[in-house]
């Protein structure tokens, strides 16, 4: 079942990937606004589908919203923040490494992405600890629990977005090779927004589950919060151990 789903999104990505590369190359000879927009639009869809595959912080976002009483608006905000970090990190990493260390790009890319993944893992663990702390103190001051700070949201978004997505980096790099800088940057942004929307859905799904469970879970709110926070922490730990 799961692998059928993977196969489906892989075949879509296969076609979208081909479409983008052949059109970007064609535009070297002749650029028109409509073809420019088509490539960016397809990059957006590519991002939507791409983030549906494994990874990209969907688990983190889902766990975060398990431990937090939030509304759907927050989930979208989270998706939006993650897209911003995703796009920025991909652009900075790609341009940075490409222009500073032009030659041994591949080798360095692997090294840098390991470091980025470790930073991300530690960040996720810190968010987990912060959520545990909030759940604990929130229990003491029940009335204050509603006013969650946006600090932890930013932390979650940063941890999920700081690892540059190889898919976005590939598009950026491909457009650098073709000399299509503007198109590359805009495609990377479009793709990141697409990914952000899919990642938001993980959060919305998690909130919907919470709402459905509703009153029953309300009385166990504290346990649920602790559980969600521990999951976030555990996820960071697993990711960190995988890097060492």
Partner 1 sequence: MKKLILFLIISTSLLSHPHTFIDVYPTIKKDKANAINFKWKLDEMTSSILIMELDKNMDGKIDDKENKYIEDEYFSMFVPYSYYTYMFVKGQKLNLPTPKNFEATIEDHRLCYAFDIYIDAQLKDIYFEFGDTDYYNALILKDEFVDAKGIKTKITGVDNDFYYGYKLEFLDVQ
Pick 41 or 55: Cβ nearer partner 1: 55
Q: How many residues bind partner 1 (CB under 8 A)?
A: 41
Nearest to 196 by CA among 239, 172, 160, 233: 160
Q: Does 108 bind partner 1 (CB under 8 A)?
A: no
First-last CA distance in the chain = 32
Binders of partner 1 among 47-106, rule CB under 8 A? 50, 53-59, 103, 105-106
Q: Does 113 bind partner 1 (CB under 8 A)?
A: yes
DSSP class of residue 103? T
- Considering only 40, 84, 88, 117, the residue that binds partner 1 (CB under 8 A) is 117
Cα gap 12→140, rounded to integer Å: 50
The phi and psi torsions of 54 (rounded to 5 degrees) equal: -60, 145
215 CB-near residues (< 8 Å, 6+ apart) = none
Find out whether 19 and 164 touch, Cβ atoms under 8 Å: no
Pick 43 or 131: Cβ nearer partner 1: 43
Q: Does 29 bind partner 1 (CB under 8 A)?
A: no
Q: Which stretch binds partner 1 (CB under 8 A): 31-39, 46-54, 66-74, 81-89?
A: 46-54
Q: Does 157 bind partner 1 (CB under 8 A)?
A: no
The least distance separating partner 1 from the CB of residue 147, rounded to whole angstroms, comes to 30
């Amino acid at each position: 079942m799961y692998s059928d789903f993977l196969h489906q999104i892989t075949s879509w990505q296969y076609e979208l990937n081909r479409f983008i590369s052949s059109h970007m190359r064609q535009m070297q000879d002749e650029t028109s606004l409509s073809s420019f927009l088509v490539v960016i639009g397809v990059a957006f869809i590519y991002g939507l589908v791409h983030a549906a595959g494994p990874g990209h912080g969907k688990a983190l976002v889902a766990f975060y919203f398990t431990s937090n009483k939030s509304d759907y608006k927050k989930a979208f905000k989270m998706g939006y923040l993650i897209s911003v970090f995703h796009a920025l990190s991909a652009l900075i990493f790609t341009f940075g490494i490409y222009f500073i260390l032009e030659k041994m790009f591949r080798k360095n890319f692997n090294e840098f992405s390991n470091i980025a993944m470790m930073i991300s893992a530690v960040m996720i663990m810190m968010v987990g600890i912060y959520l545990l702390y909030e759940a604990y103190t929130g229990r003491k001051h029940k009335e204050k629990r509603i006013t969650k700070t946006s600090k932890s949201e930013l932390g979650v978004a940063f941890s999920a977005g700081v690892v540059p997505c190889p898919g976005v980096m590939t598009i950026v790099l491909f457009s650098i090779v073709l000399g299509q800088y503007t198109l590359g940057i805009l495609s990377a942004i479009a793709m990141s927004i697409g990914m952000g929307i899919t990642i938001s859905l993980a959060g919305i799904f998690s909130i919907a589950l919470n709402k459905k469970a509703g009153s029953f879970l309300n009385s166990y709110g504290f346990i649920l919060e602790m559980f969600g926070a521990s999951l976030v922490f555990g996820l960071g730990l697993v990711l960190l151990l995988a890097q060492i």
